[in-house]
Chain A
Amino acid sequence: MEERELDLAGRLMADMDPRLLEFLQAKITSFVKWDLINFFHDNPHTTDTADNISRYAGRNVETIRTELAELARDGVLEETQLGGMTVYSLASDRRIRELLEQFVEASDDRQFRVKAIYHIIRGTR
């Protein structure tokens, strides 16, 4: 059973752009992270606290806090101290921004979304 699933996953991901696949596998390990990626793609100049970002995203603040910290650890976001607050903004690294742009663009395609969803579900098991 396990083997068959791995095989299906392998086939699903086979035709995916390797850079996007790596980005997906390494950085987007949950649906909340996907939401946050979309949020920062649409709001590339936002710098804010986890509390405020959770309000913008309509998600629980504790969940958001963890995911933001992980995205910062993975280099997608930048975490800085500002006036005693921990704030997050999109990483200024051009390569990361390009990947994020490509990922969001690719997400418009239903086939890509299905593959990405499958990948995340498998990862969260």
Chain B
Amino acid sequence: MERVKTGIPGLDEMLGGGLLSQTANLVEGAPGTGKTTLGMQFIYHGIVACGEPGLILTFEEFPQQYYRDAASFGWDFRQMEREGKLRVVMSSPEVTKADLEQVGGRIERLVREIGAKRILVDSLSHFERISEEPVRLRGIVYGFVNSLKREGLTAVLTRENLALLGEAEGTDDAIAFLVDAYVLLRYVEIESAMRKALLVLKMRGSNHDKGIRQFGITSRGIEVRAPFEGREGIMSGSPRRMVDSFVQAFVRR
């Protein structure tokens, strides 16, 4: 199976070598967890290390924001655009949906023009503007995801999760069924400090690391590190030391 490397140290190993080619991969997390950084790193790595041009489709941020954010990691997205290896497209979900549904639309032309192989869609949450009705929304996202695959793109789709810690209320998991891989980014409070956790919740058609890993955003981008050790309840956002749980369960009886 052809693998598409994200270039994120630690993540590709968790994914069994990388994402699967021409798949849609959801990255979900609270604001500031690093969803967009992860997506930009995926695009950057594709261009510089794999010779795979990329598209960034943004429904909120202006392209300048991506240029600035990328520059802080030493990634010159402006130059990549000039060289025809990258296109940053700002649009709205409703127009993008209509554009992809027609033959020879603008996005289709851009994909062919630069030979794009990768796409970052930032973020899928904006599709909720088209419909709040879950069944219709699922149908819309299903059509959108399939249109990206039709263009031969491997996609990273970000989605916002408003819960800073613990489970988000009202998370629409219908979307999670439509994607091929599902990566969760979470804040974790440990000893009065915020750390970040990454979990590959699902990867269709491939084995993957089920561990919950620590990760950080460095000057070179995201780095996935060792698993949290001696802790449980990581995804609750407030983990306990396993030794405390043991004492509570067996010693203080």
Contacts and interface: CB of A to CB of B under 8 A. Distances in A.
Interface of A: 42-43, 45-49, 52, 56, 82-85, 87, 89
Most buried by B among A45, A82, A84, A87: A45
B95 A49 contact: yes
Contacts of B106: 45, 47, 89
A30 B105 CA distance: 31
Contacts of B88: 45
A42 B62 contact: yes
B178 interface: no
B98 A48 contact: no
B97 A43 contact: no
B110 interface: yes
Given A56-B90, A83-B101, A48 B95 contact: yes
A49 B92 contact: yes
B62 A47 contact: no
B64 interface: yes
B102 A43 contact: no
A46 B90 contact: yes
B92 A48 contact: yes
A46 B101 contact: no
Contacts of A46: 89-91
B94 A45 contact: no
B95 A42 contact: no
B232 interface: no
A52 B105 CA distance: 19
A52 B91 CA distance: 8
B91 A47 contact: yes
A92 B92 CA distance: 20
Given A47-B99, A49-B92, A52-B91, 14 more contacts: A42-B62, A43-B90, A45-B88, A46-B89, A47-B95, A48-B95, A49-B94, A52-B92, A52-B95, A82-B95, A82-B102, A83-B98, A83-B101, A83-B102
A48 B94 CA distance: 9
Q: 8 tightest A-B contacts by CB? A: A83-B98, A45-B89, A52-B92, A82-B98, A43-B90, A46-B90, A47-B106, A48-B95
Interface string B97-129: 111011001100010000000000000000000
Interface in B63-112: 63-64, 87-92, 94-95, 97-99, 101-102, 105-106, 110
Given A45-B88, A45-B106, A45-B110, A85 B63 contact: no
A106 B143 CA distance: 44
Most buried by B among A42, A82, A89: A82
Nearest to B64: A42
Contacts of B110: 45
A85 B130 CA distance: 14
B91 A83 contact: no
Contacts of A87: 95
Contacts of A56: 62, 90
A105 B101 CA distance: 36
Contacts of B102: 82-83
Given A82-B102, A83-B97, A48 B64 contact: no
